């Protein structure tokens, strides 16, 4: 059901990266997605409505694309009070965590009276992509919208595909309302990304698009980059668990399955020093798998993308984790905090047996929009900075300019930019 292999050499450790799927080598889909993006850019609402009918089975008019206040009110009648309490608790914790990420603009006065500084300003608009249709992802709404709200973004827009009845999932709608989303549109897929990037008669363009989606959404984000800013190009979800001989096999199996049930491309990996633990985890996987409603998905995910790696030492296990740079990294060892300083690359790090990955998905506070496919080597979780832009501030006195101008003139002359040099000389002569 799940592959097991021993790793002893550096080459074998590096081969673990081959277990990750590349986001950028899916040529057979690129032309199709590019055509969708181009059609929406040229035809606007007409293309949006045609693709919504074709892909989502929902026949809408242009004036039905935007979710109405009545639809939001109806959604509140369809969700239960327990959900409302849970989503509001999650909202409070997520907002509080991201509030700590805010930075203040600053100005620094030099000895000659000149002033240098940096100005922080929120983006004016942000578009949030939330998967939808028959599924409900209220947690994704919160994770994408709340950092934007904390940053001070004025216009927060959400797009999500409708069901065949032309309506959006009520749990998704309620989460959007609770998170302060101002505009909600019933459109998904590559066409939704194109609409956010270029705008239509109904959906004004935004400055940045965030949020994960399927491969069509990811490729569309890749194609519109430059016309609009992006958070990251997210691929299939993944978890890597580092465990020693004292780890609980029931917990490990449950955590691997919680990732495997996402979809058949999800990766669930265990790296351990204990062969005894491996056998126990395999038994637990079989036992727990049979009780899952999404058994077929989880089973195929484990068979195709699951892996148990046996290494000699905990140091080697942590080295492998750094090679893989996982989206989610669980450290289930006797002293997990002793390992923290040795972790270089991971989207989110879960320390100890009572910090399972799902608590981070829903309610802990840190963002669950995380880098995948090894991109944790250079990407960070979605955060307030993603919705902030920075401007440099310069205010020189004459004395301050006179001290620096000769050096600046020299550099300009070396670069052959005479007008640059002259703009400085003129001020030296006055």
DSSP one-letter code for 104: -
Report DSSP letters for 109-157, one per residue.
Answer: E-TTS-EEEEEEEE-SEEEEE---TT---HHHHHHHHHHHHHHT-SEEE
* Bridge partners, 329 (sequence order): 240, 349
Q: Are the beta carbons of 234 and 209 closer than 8 angstroms?
A: no
**Catalytic residue, candidates 327, 330, 353, 357:** 327
Q: Are the beta carbons of 45 and 187 closer than 8 angstroms?
A: no
Q: Is 391 helix (H, G, I), strand (E, B) or coil?
A: strand
* Bridge partners, 4 (sequence order): 308
Residue 427: both structure tokens together: 């001020």
CA-to-CA distance for 355 and 171, rounded, in angstroms? 26
Short-list 245, 265, 86, 243, CA closest to 254 = 243
Burial of 306 (0-12, 13-18, 19+ CB in 10 A): buried
What is the chain's Cα-based Rg? 25
Q: Residue 82 catalytic? A: no
CA-to-CA distance for 263 and 249, rounded, in angstroms? 23
DSSP one-letter code for 285: H
Residue 82 half-sphere exposure toward CB, CA atoms < 13 A? 0
| Block residue for tokens 């007008």 | 419
**Catalytic residue, candidates 328, 353, 357, 368:** 328
Residue 263: both structure tokens together: 């979809």
DSSP one-letter code for 228: B
Q: Is 197 helix (H, G, I), strand (E, B) or coil?
A: helix
Short-list 287, 272, 274, 240, CA closest to 259 = 240
Short-list 179, 231, 181, 185, CA closest to 204 = 185
- Catalytically active residues are 327-328
């Amino acid at each position: 059901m799940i592959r097991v292999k021993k790793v002893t050499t550096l080459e074998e450790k590096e081969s673990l990266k081959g277990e990750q799927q590349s986001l950028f080598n899916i040529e057979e889909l690129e032309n199709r997605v590019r055509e969708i993006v181009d059609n929406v850019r040229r035809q606007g609402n007409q293309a949006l409505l045609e693709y919504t009918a074709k892909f989502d089975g929902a026949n809408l008019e242009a004036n039905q694309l935007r979710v109405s206040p009545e639809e939001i009110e109806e959604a509140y009648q369809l969700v239960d009070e327990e959900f409302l309490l849970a989503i509001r608790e999650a909202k409070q914790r997520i907002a509080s965590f991201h509030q700590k990420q805010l930075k203040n603009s600053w100005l620094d006065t030099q000895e000659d009276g000149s002033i240098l500084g940096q100005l922080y300003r929120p983006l004016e608009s942000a578009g949030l992509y939330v998967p939808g249709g028959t599924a409900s992802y209220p947690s994704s709404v919160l994770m994408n919208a709340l950092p934007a709200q904390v940053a001070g973004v004025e216009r927060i827009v959400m797009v999500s595909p409708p069901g065949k009845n032309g309506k959006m999932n009520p749990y998704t709608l309620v989460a959007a309302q609770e998170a302060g989303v101002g505009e909600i549109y019933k459109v998904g897929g590559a066409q939704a990304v194109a609409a956010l990037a270029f705008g239509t008669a109904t959906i004004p363009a935004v400055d940045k698009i965030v949020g994960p989606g399927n491969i069509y959404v990811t490729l569309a984000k890749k194609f519109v980059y430059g016309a609009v800013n992006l958070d990251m190009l997210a691929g299939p979800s993944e978890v890597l668990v580092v465990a020693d001989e004292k780890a609980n096999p029931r917990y490990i199996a449950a955590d691997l399955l919680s990732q495997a049930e996402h979809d058949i491309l999800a990766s669930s990996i265990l790296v351990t020093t204990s062969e005894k633990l491996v056998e126990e985890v395999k038994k637990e996987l079989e036992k727990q798998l049979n009780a899952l409603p999404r058994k077929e998905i989880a089973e195929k995910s484990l068979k195709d993308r699951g892996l148990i790696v046996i290494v000699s030492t905990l140091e080697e296990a942590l080295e492998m984790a750094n090679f893989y740079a996982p989206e989610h990294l669980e450290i289930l060892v006797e002293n997990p905090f002793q390992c923290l300083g040795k972790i270089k690359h991971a989207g989110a790090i879960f320390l100890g047996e009572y910090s399972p990955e799902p608590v981070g998905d829903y309610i802990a506070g840190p963002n669950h929009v995380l880098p995948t496919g090894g991109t944790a080597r250079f990407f960070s979780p979605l955060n307030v900075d993603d919705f902030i832009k920075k401007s440099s501030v310069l205010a020189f006195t004459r004395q301050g300019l006179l001290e620096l101008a000769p050096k600046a003139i020299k550099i300009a002359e070396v670069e052959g930019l005479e007008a640059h040099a002259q703009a400085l000389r003129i001020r030296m002569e006055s």
